[in-house]
Amino acid sequence: MRADSRIAEDKFEVHVQGGRATLTGNTNVLQHKGVATRLARAQGAAEVINNIEPSEEARQKASANLTKGRRRAQIKRGDARSEQ
């Protein structure tokens, strides 16, 4: 992973053997798990085993954001119908 990447703060462990990258560690940002997988693939890993564990804080924050996003989408859909 790039040193200037924001997920570098998570200090994930990366083990590579035969084109397979195994990622381990913990994160407080749920999206960092997916970013780590994409970075490993971008660097040439043929297979990625992602054992990164998001914290409970990260799960709750993502859940709250998802719920808030659903409410916004419902309002926008409703507004679009009333304008027609």
Q: Which CATH architecture has domain 6-83?
A: 2-Layer Sandwich (3.30)
Confidence check: pLDDT of 75 > 80: no
Tens of pLDDT, residue by residue over 7-66, are 788 889 999 999 999 999 999 988 899 999 999 999 999 999 999 999 999 889 888 888
Cβ distance 45 to 19 under 8 Å?
Answer: yes
d(C-alpha 15, C-alpha 32), whole Å: 17
Q: Where are the domains of the chain?
A: 6-83
d(C-alpha 32, C-alpha 69), whole Å: 19
β-bridge mates for residue 21, sequence order = 16, 48
Query: What integer pLDDT is reported at residue 10 of this predicted model?
Result: 81
- What does the angle CA 33 – CA 58 – CA 55 come to, to the nearest 5 degrees? 80
Closest by Cα among 19, 28, 21 to 11: 28
Confidence check: pLDDT of 1 > 70: no
